[in-house]
Structure formats: structure tokens, C-alpha cells
Amino acid sequence: MEQPSVLQYVIGVFVLACGCLAAFARNPVVSAMALMGTLFSTGALYFGLGAYFIGAVQILIYAGAISVLFVFVVMLLDLKPFPVNIPGSSLGKVLAVVAGAGFLVALGMSVLPGLHGAANVAGEAETAKAVSLRFLSKYMLPYQVTGLMILSAVVGVVVLGRPRKEKKA
């Protein structure tokens, strides 16, 4: 197995830094931009793994389309930086930190051994053709159901956003 390159570690650190910034930044616009950075650099990681199709789709859909909407909406709302007040006693906060750290460790222990050394997954499995064939055969039903769900969401948005007709008195 190929060892991960230095660049992959650099990108990985960038992903984590952007993720932390997205979570901890006081300014919502900075948060949204950092979220974009996270999604984009995750796409870069996929490229490093040789999964070009997944990487391109990740950047196109998440970094290029979805987080633009986040940034757009946050800018339009003109939110001010806000102080974060976590309610609850200090004992509760300590317990929350311990529980969160424990969850992180458990997650790492279950995921990391499987990932070790997986520096390159390039191959037939990751091409656009293979992905679309699987979409149109094995995962046909979930694919169609997801499409239906998105369609109903779009219709719902149009219904909710439609200007109300004023009743004539």
C-alpha cells in the first residue's frame, strides 16, 4: 500500500483547521466561509486519493453550490457577531466535555484502523461510469426516492414562498 504523501497531511490539517474555524468563529460570515474551506479541502483530499469523480462532485455540489447559499443567506441577514452563552452548571459543562472527548476517542478507534494506509483508491471503482452504473442498477430505488424527496421539497418551498392572496373584505 502507498503511504499518504506530505501534501495529504497538509490538506488534512487544513480540513480540520477550517472545520474548527467554522464551529468556533464568532462571526457567522467567517463561519460560512470556513465551512466552504472545509468542503473544498475535503474534495482536495478525494483528489489526493485518486477518486477524481467523487472529488469533483464534492467541490461542485458542496463547495460550489450549497455553501454559496449559506454564505449568501448569512450575508443578506447581516448577522452581528454574537457572544456564546452555554447554559447549565459548570459540572454539567465538564461532563459534556468528557462525554464529547470520549465519543471522539471511540469514533477514532473504530474508524482509524480501517483507514490506515489507504493512500490511493484509484481504480475502476471510482470512475464516473462505475458510479453511475451502480446508481442505475443496485441503488436505483434509493436514487429515485431521493429524487422524489428533493422534488417535493422544491414544491413545498414554492408553496411556502408564494405571495399570499389578500382576501377581499
Partner 1 sequence: METLSALGGWLWSPAGLSYLLVVLVGVGLLSGVPVILMIERWGSAWMQRRRGPNRVGPFGLMQPLSDALKMVFKEENIPAQAHKILFQLAPCLAVIPPILAFAAIPISGHLILDGTEVPVQVANINVGLLFVLAITSLHVYSVLAAGWASNNKFSLMGALRSSSQMISYEIAIGITVVSLVLTYGTLDLREIVKLQAHGSSLPMWGAGLQPLAFLILWISSFAETNRLPFDLPEGESELVAGYHTEYSGLKFGLFFLGEYVSMYLASAFLATLFFGGYNVPFVNEAMLREFWQNAAGVTLETAALLAVICQLISFVVKVFFFMWVFVWVRWTLPRFRYDQLMDLGWKMLLPLGIFNAIVTMVVSYYLNRGGRF
Nearer to partner 1, 12 or 64 (CB): 64
Q: Identify whether the C-beta of residue 62 lies closer than 8 Å to the C-beta of residue 43.
A: yes
Angle at 35 between CA 131 and CA 101, to 5 degrees: 95
Nearer to partner 1, 4 or 51 (CB): 51
Nearer to partner 1, 72 or 139 (CB): 72
Nearer to partner 1, 120 or 127 (CB): 127
Angle at 25 between CA 28 and CA 9, to 5 degrees: 120
Q: How far is the CB of 67 from partner 1 (least distance, A)?
A: 9
Q: Which three cell numbers stand for residue 28?
A: 457567522
Q: How far is the CB of 79 from partner 1 (least distance, A)?
A: 11
Q: How far is the CB of 63 from partner 1 (least distance, A)?
A: 6
Q: Which three cell numbers stand for residue 134?
A: 451502480
Closest by alpha carbon to 49, among 134, 130, 123, 129?
Answer: 123
Q: How far is the CB of 101 from partner 1 (least distance, A)?
A: 30
**Distance between CA atoms of 27 and 132, rounded to whole angstroms?**
40
First to last CA, the chain: 76
The contact set with partner 1 (CB under 8 A) reads: 27, 29-30, 33, 36, 40, 43, 47, 52-53, 56-57, 59-60, 63-65, 68, 71-72, 75-76, 127-128
Q: How far is the CB of 136 from partner 1 (least distance, A)?
A: 14
Nearer to partner 1, 4 or 62 (CB): 62
**Distance between CA atoms of 104 and 98, rounded to whole angstroms?**
10
